[in-house]
Structure 1
Amino acid sequence: MDQLRAWDGNQGEFWASRADRFDEGVAAYQDALLDAARIDRGSKVLDIGCGSGRTSRDAARRAVGGSVLGVDLSSSMIELARGLAAREELPNAAFEQVDAQVHDFPEAHFDVAISRHGVMFFGDPVAAFGNIARAVRPGGRLALLTWQPAERIEWMTAFRALLAAGRDLPEPPSTGPGPLSLSDPDVIRELLSATGFDDVRLHDLAEPMYFGRDVDDACDFITEQHARLLADLDEDEKSRAIADLRADLAEHRTERGVRYDSAAWLIEARRG
């Protein structure tokens, strides 16, 4: 319920309002995920945590004679995804606001299930992946992107330290719903093996992430996304934190915008 309240509330609305920026941020990972999914013209694809539907729409272009179902908890993002798919004339892409942990998907229906950084937020990952496995045909495929541990994700550690403004903040949790919940390879293998998948393989990917065309653009986005880290600071502390952030952003400005290093697992598995 907490995840539903967050994603179908202010958090989902923010992601919908900044959909292009989030897509641009992880664009370097997109082709690797879709190539691993091995989507063919007739594939039936399930996209879990589809957000505004960029991955679903790219999958639909590959499955021109098949179908793609994107699911997400956020009504704002599902509405946006439907509108973008209609604008891009992709009638084989459909979107539903459902909880993939418990939704009654048709059994053994999909050839492949994919997710771009969406499966880390399950409240009950065992139930969720068991339900996904039930929906994928025997021999079908699973292709996922999840974040690696925080120490390999420059932007995550940098923004948190800069906006802490000297406070001793707790480390991001590696268990429970959150971006690091599937960062441990052993946890990933054990979870998937226990829920109906085999031949689990992890590939180490490292790509720069885009945060804005310049310092002003990136600073506006990051301070909005991480507003909770600034909320308890007084005005002087907040001003210093933002000044420190801007200085760091300037050091990461390239000809292709502000970029920070990141690392993700590309996970492949087969439905047993």
Structure 2
Amino acid sequence: MNTTHLLAGRHESALLAFPSVQRMAAILVQRCHNPLWARTAVASLARFQTMTGQRDLEALCEQALQDPQVASQALAAFAAALSAYSESQVATLARGVKLWFSLNGIAVPWRPLAGKVAASGPPVSEQPGVEAVILLALIGSGLHLAELLRLRVGDLGSLAQNGELMADLAAEPLAVQYTPRRGKREPRITFLTFQARQALLAYLAQSALPGAELEPDRLLLTRADGSCLSAQSIARARRRSRALIQAGRNANVELCRATGEFFRRWGLPGSHFSGPEELNIEDYI
């Protein structure tokens, strides 16, 4: 997909005039199966530009190439501007900035930035077990269950300048390299949400044998002894995923039905308006 078409009609498309932003978007379009990642990366970069006052991104990129501390300071300034946001919100907004620096050859730490710790996580993340990890990992990543179950420890990490994956389970954002089960069978990149990353790290810490290291070739989701997940665990994860999707559909149907019922009883918008057809604008100035 052409990067210009990717952001057609969006105000952040102006950022593509910067060669460094264009490079980032082009690499993400090429490496990611879903163009959403390129679009959201540019959008979060636009937020970074506004909240930190960095109007000339190309100049900042050049300065950071000379001194990587400039990039770290810019990320710290962005985190400070987002101090009222939650950890997951900060992670989502900072993803595009980290990608922009990294894909332009500037080394920045792929680690969580400071943010407000939520009083309690989403209910599903509070339930231990691989089923919760599977459910959270599927949400937002675009992965199919079969693709997720084939992942190995070395398939997760950060991205290098050329868009290649560097294994690092602690990376934030946490990139995932996988082979689609449909279409061209070539490695693609997606990302786990902050909640999915946290749940995965907690699961791995809980399920790993004491003192054992996670080898890159080991399957990501396994039993404690490294063996494959049971069919029962996978079946439970499927049922929970389907139940969540169905609950969302039901809520959407009820919302649409309630909205339609309201207008059926009330009438078309404006049909009950009473008053002068034309208002004197001077009365409202």
Query: TM above 0.5, one fold?
Result: no
**Larger strand proportion, structure 1 or 2?**
1
TM-score computed with the length of structure 2 as normaliser: 0.27
Higher Rg: 2
**Larger helix proportion, structure 1 or 2?**
2
TM-score computed with the length of structure 1 as normaliser: 0.28
**Comparing both chains, which one has the higher relative contact order based on Cα–Cα distances under 8 Å and sequence gaps of 6 or more?**
1
